[in-house]
Amino acid sequence: MRKRFLPLLLLLLTPLSLWAWGVDGHRAVGKIAEQHLSRRARREVQQLLRTETVTMVSTWPDEIRSDPQFKETGPWHYVNTPSGLNHEQYVQQLKAQTDPNAYNAMLAQLAILKDGSKTQAERVAALKFVVHLVGDVHQPLHAGHAEDKGGNDIKVKFRGRDTNLHSLWDSGLLDYQGLTYTEMATAYDARLRGSVIRKLQATPPEEWLWESYQASNQIYQETPTNTDIDYRYYPAHADLMRQRIIEAGVRLAGVLNKAFR
């Protein structure tokens, strides 16, 4: 009986700063993606996930991180690089990294998902990781600077509570708006047009991370350290937050549509 509750206990003890976009953010990404799946991709996803959905499995890779069986997946959720890189330098560094990170893990899991010779269990796990990691790489601080661990070492106060810059962007700003993931997906998705969707889905993964890296540079410059973040911070950054979730959801749908084409 005790073993049955061990994973739940470990989950409850996992620091929230490890959850990119938070539960609601990841589920909003999944919900948006579901609304843009092709008929064939929708059918293939249903065959793999059975009674589960893209929305609900979007948080699974975070939920299993504290399980010793998945200990090696910890570095899969982010890509930290030095500050001050231009586009060419960034892409070179991204492709040259051999240590596990969100970029190479996402590509590896996508390859497993598309490989019909893999077992059902392997492809299901790969699908869950792809769903999650596409969301992760669109959170700007998951492509932050190596020297401050993606903003984890930058201490701030938000709404009177001690936190750090990374955690603020993982969940603090999302929680502040007070929307459920369904409300987020519905409101954000209403802004999309066909031409925008096609343009977003044509962009390669390297550019998703470059966008996050650029956004993180902006966030670093505009965030005070060791001081309270006041009421002006959310409205100044809400559009960027929404934009990255929309882009993650639309691109996730594009990745799955292509994988099952």
Please report which helix (H) or strand (E) contains residue 241, including its range.
helix 233-259
Q: For 165, what's the count of Cα atoms within 13 Å in the CB-facing half-sphere?
A: 27
User: What element of type H or E holds 161?
Assistant: strand 161-164
Reply yes or no on whether the pLDDT at 2 is more than 50: no
Instruction: List pLDDT tens digits, range 36-64.
Output: 999 999 999 999 999 999 999 999 999 99
Stretch 125-131: mean pLDDT, rounded?
Answer: 98
User: 């390859």: which residue's tokens?
Assistant: 111
CATH numeric code, 2-7+24-259: 1.10.575.10
Report the C-alpha gap between 118 and 121 in whole angstroms: 8
Q: What is the pTM of this model?
A: 0.91
Nearest to 19 by CA among 136, 101, 125, 109: 136
Cβ atoms < 10 Å from Cβ of 213: 24
pLDDT computed for residue 150 by the predictor: 96
Question: Please, what sign has the CA dihedral across residues 103, 139, 206, 48?
Answer: positive
Q: Where are the domains of the chain?
A: 2-7+24-259
The whole-angstrom separation of Cα 213 and Cα 150 is 10
Contacts of 233 (CB under 8 A, 6+ apart): 158, 223
The pLDDT mean for the chain works out to 91
> What local confidence, expressed as pLDDT, does residue 192 receive?
84
d(CA 254, CA 259): 8
Q: Token pair of 143, please?
A: 């492509």
Q: Is-contact 162 231, C-beta < 8 A?
A: no
